[in-house]
Amino acid sequence: MNKSNTLLSLGVLVKRNVKLFLKDKMTVFFSVLAPVIVLLIYILFLGELQVGSIQQILESEGIGSDIVSIQDVRGIVNNWMIAGVMGVSCITVALNANIMMVRDRAYGNINDVLSSPVKRWVLYASYIISCFIVTLSIALVVLLVSLCYLAGSGGFMLSWKDFFAILGITILSTISSSCFTALVCGFIKSTSALAAANGIYATAIGFLIGAYLPFGMLPKAIGWIGCFIPGTYSVGLFKEYFLNGMFNNITAKLPADKVAEFMDKLSGQYSVKLEIFGQEITTGWMVLALVISIVLFASLILIFYTNKKTNFFAVGKKVKKKKKIVANSISKTENDAILVGKETTQIESTGKENQEIENKS
């Protein structure tokens, strides 16, 4: 297969996967609804708790509402919450978007494609690319809804630089999540197992990456685990750029001698500045961590998916059934041949006996 045919096959498979995903209206609906529900839970229940906590920090510094208004505090909380929602959305939606890979393997469709001239890497690349397209589309919808909420609540203070940085982080986080979830879905054999895994994964990952609650409010062990999850760095980057405008607005109102102490307390309690084992992680290092995760997961996919000897993910029910049927048919044929041989021998011996009897008579 030449290069043009390979690219054509890749495009056709990607288009097919995206269309089949969009055809399942309920899957699309719940993929969009899940992050929106998390945002609503924040707004309706957890938001005021965070507002009260920040007000206590301001009061401990002798800063009243005449300097930093309640609207400013709500702006910080809203931007912090949306940063967490965006980080979780890029991860959880990516897992759900891999339903086509799991479904094809469960029904044996993967094996049908692999029996064609399509290269093995083209098939798995199509799943990853389609997962990226679906996840990025839904993440951008969530981002649009979030920005509309910020604009309506008075917390929208993003500069163009921050906005484009958030778009870049969304793309980078989506690539990392698509590669990671494609690797994870290699071990999932049915859509029901994927649904169960998605429920557990979506619940746990928000705490492990510091999206639902800051690491300062969680046990230290959770923070250490989060150091090894790429989503932690996605959330850290989202928080930095979502909160940049709000912090500039508030620090301009604070007395000069109060700014550093207030920011240190706020950063420590709300994990605005990400720290690993006591060392602060800068923006550059967080971006590098995401790039390394992409390279790592892509390398593992290349090793396990494209090599026939290690490609144990593509073994579906259809292959096992075919092997079993072939084995049964072979054993049945052998048994029939043995029976025919015995009957032939018996007939020959009977014929000889009858001929001997006739000769004697």
Q: What pLDDT is recorded for position 168?
A: 94
pLDDT, tens only, 86-132: 998 888 889 888 888 888 888 877 777 777 777 778 888 888 999 99
Q: How confident is the model at residue 307 (pLDDT cuts 50, 70, 90)?
A: low
pLDDT, tens only, 204-263: 888 888 877 777 777 878 878 888 888 889 998 998 899 888 888 887 877 777 777 777
Instruction: Delimit the domains of the chain by residue range.
Output: 3-314, 316-361
Q: What pLDDT is recorded for position 135?
A: 93
Q: Which of 5, 293, 10, 269 is nearest to 130 (CA)?
A: 10
Q: How confident is the model at residue 31 (pLDDT cuts 50, 70, 90)?
A: confident
Q: How confident is the model at residue 171 (pLDDT cuts 50, 70, 90)?
A: very high
Q: What pLDDT is recorded for position 352?
A: 56
Highest mean pLDDT among 26-35, 257-266, 348-357: 26-35
Q: What pLDDT is recorded for position 172?
A: 94
pLDDT, tens only, 57-67: 777 777 777 77
Q: What pLDDT is recorded for position 327?
A: 46
In the predicted structure, residue 146 carries a pLDDT above the cut 80: yes
Q: What pLDDT is recorded for position 330?
A: 46
Q: How confident is the model at residue 325 (pLDDT cuts 50, 70, 90)?
A: very low
Q: What pLDDT is recorded for position 295?
A: 93
The residue among 80 and 357 whose pLDDT is bigger is: 80
In the predicted structure, residue 336 carries a pLDDT above the cut 60: no
Q: How confident is the model at residue 345 (pLDDT cuts 50, 70, 90)?
A: low
Write down the mean pLDDT value for the chain: 78
Q: What pLDDT is recorded for position 322?
A: 47
Q: How confident is the model at residue 318 (pLDDT cuts 50, 70, 90)?
A: very low
The residue among 328 and 45 whose pLDDT is bigger is: 45
Half-sphere exposure of 124 (CA within 13 A, CB side): 22
In the chain, the percentage of residues whose pLDDT exceeds 70 is: 81
Q: What pLDDT is recorded for position 354?
A: 54
Q: What pLDDT is recorded for position 292?
A: 94
* pTM attached to this predicted model: 0.80
Q: What pLDDT is recorded for position 155?
A: 79
Q: What pLDDT is recorded for position 238?
A: 92
In the predicted structure, residue 36 carries a pLDDT above the cut 50: yes
Q: What pLDDT is recorded for position 339?
A: 52
